[in-house]
């Protein structure tokens, strides 16, 4: 993509034909590039520099940055606030919205507010329960779920109305996403569940961690049989493991996470577990990239964000492409200031 295709903070791009947002992430996907997204761990802080410091780790390596929304039922800076900070300097954030903590009034307000601040991508989630988080006494809401959240966001965008039927004057111009887990039983229903999310409005999908490529291939064949490959962009979740012990704990305690025995055995046989975890992640990325229908990866390196650059570089998944980041094009920026 040329300099002219890159957004400058405060100057949104035009919406191209067939696009629903002015965002750079949608342009990358529709241009056929293999996309890379990652997650920014929100700080336990009110200092904006804490967000910018964490975002700089991803410079030149990701096409969009997910801002998590109370992941695991734990309290951090809000997804909306993180996204507002990221859009100030031109990043392409993905605003996660969990149905756990807000009712439909608050959620619709957040969608409009995020879009007004330049958020072009929304990931619709039902949300983790509060019982596993740091505020188990909190009252969950769940007024909506991921399906009804998708239809709500789509109604705001396409019908210019709230769920109440009241009209809005300017629609949010956003790309809508959802999560899916191809690796947990009943496997034969996972593609049908994805089809329901696509019908509800999902345009991109980010999956649970993939440590079993054969299961991913089975899922993608089912998705193809349902005629969905031309209707949704699928980004497969990947992430480095720290050790065999950590991997064993994760598959025991993280709901819906599937880690095959051979992965545990590979990690257990390594002298340096963290290094082997990165090597495994790189191997998986290279395998996943070759799976027909996969549009990208979603790299979740929780508490290992500093490994993202190494993993992306060594995997070669970007093929020489350098995703935009603030200051990437100093010649363009200086020319624009001079004019």
Alpha carbon of residue 146 to chain centroid: 15
pLDDT greater at residue 9 or residue 146: 146
Q: Is 295 strand, coil or helix? A: strand
**Domain enclosing residue 71, as ranges:** 3-338
Q: Of 192, 169, 172, 78, nearest to 119 (Cα)?
A: 172
Domain count, the chain: 1
- Residue 336 is predicted with a pLDDT of 39
Q: Where are the alpha helices (H) located in 33-103, listed in sequence order?
A: 48-55, 79-88
Say if residue 116's pLDDT is above 80.
yes
What pLDDT was estimated at residue 286? 98
Mean pLDDT of 51-77: 94
For residue 168, count other CB atoms closer than 10 A to its CB. 15
Kindly indicate the confidence band of residue 330, based on its pLDDT and cuts at 50, 70 and 90: confident
Residue 290, SS3? coil
Q: According to the model, what pLDDT value does residue 289 have? A: 98
62 pLDDT more than 90 = yes
Q: How many helices (H) and strands (E) does the chain have?
A: 12, 8
Q: CA–CA distance from 35 to each of 32, 41, 308, 326, 333 (Å)?
A: 8, 20, 14, 18, 25
Split at pLDDT 50, 70, 90, the class of 339 is very low
Helix (H, G, I), strand (E, B), or coil: what is residue 223? helix
> What tens digit of pLDDT does each residue of 65-97 get?
999 998 888 899 999 999 999 999 999 999 999
pLDDT at 317 over 50: yes
In the chain, % of residues over pLDDT 70: 94
pTM of the full predicted structure? 0.94
189-227 confidence digits (pLDDT tens): 999 999 999 999 999 999 999 999 999 999 999 999 999
According to the model, what pLDDT value does residue 11 have? 62
* pLDDT tens track for 251-308: 998 888 999 999 999 999 999 999 999 999 999 999 999 999 999 999 999 889 999 9
CATH code for the domain of 101: 3.20.20.220
Alpha-carbon gap, residue 207 to 199, rounded angstroms: 17
Statement: residue 1 has pLDDT above 70: no
Q: For residue 7, is pLDDT > 70?
A: no
> Does the pLDDT value for residue 4 go beyond 60?
no
**Rounded distance between C-alpha atoms, residue 23 and residue 16, angstroms:** 10
pLDDT digits (tens, 9 = 90+) for 153-169: 999 999 999 999 999 99
pLDDT computed for residue 134 by the predictor = 87
pLDDT above 70 (res 6): no
Q: Say what the pLDDT of residue 255 is.
A: 84
């Amino acid at each position: 993509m040329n300099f002219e295709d890159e957004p400058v903070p405060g100057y949104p791009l035009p919406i191209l034909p067939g696009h629903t947002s002015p965002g750079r992430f949608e342009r990358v996907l529709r241009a056929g590039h293999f996309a890379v997204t990652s997650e920014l761990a929100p700080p336990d802080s009110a200092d904006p520099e804490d967000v910018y410091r964490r975002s700089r780790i991803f410079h030149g390596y990701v096409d969009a940055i997910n801002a998590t929304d109370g992941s695991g039922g734990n309290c951090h800076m809000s997804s909306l606030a993180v996204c507002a900070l990221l859009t100030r300097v031109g990043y392409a954030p993905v605003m996660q919205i969990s149905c756990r903590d807000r009712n439909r009034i608050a959620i619709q307000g957040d969608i409009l507010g995020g879009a007004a601040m330049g958020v072009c991508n929304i990931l619709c989630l039902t949300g983790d329960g509060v019982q596993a988080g740091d505020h188990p006494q909190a009252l969950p809401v769940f007024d909506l779920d991921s399906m009804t959240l998708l239809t709500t966001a789509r109604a705001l965008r396409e019908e210019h109305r709230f769920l109440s039927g009241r009209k809005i004057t300017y629609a949010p111009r956003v790309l809508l996403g959802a999560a899916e887990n191809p690796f947990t039983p009943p496997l034969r229903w996972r593609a049908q569940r994805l089809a329901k999310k696509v019908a509800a409005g999902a345009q991109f999908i980010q999956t649970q961690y993939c440590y079993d490529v054969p299961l991913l291939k089975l899922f993608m064949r089912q998705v193809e049989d349902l005629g969905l490959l031309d209707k949704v962009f699928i980004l497969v979740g990947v992430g480095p493991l720290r050790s065999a012990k950590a991997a064993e704990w994760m598959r025991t305690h993280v709901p819906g996470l599937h880690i095959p025995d051979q992965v545990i055995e590979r990690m257990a046989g390594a002298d340096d577990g963290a290094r082997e975890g990165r090597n495994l992640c790189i191997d998986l990325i290279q395998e996943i990239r070759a799976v027909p229908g996969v549009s990208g990866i979603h790299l979740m390196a929780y508490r290992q964000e500093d490994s993202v650059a190494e993993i992306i570089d060594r995997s070669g998944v970007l093929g020489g492409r350098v995703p935009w980041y603030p200051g990437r094009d100093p010649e363009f920026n200086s020319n624009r200031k001079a004019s």
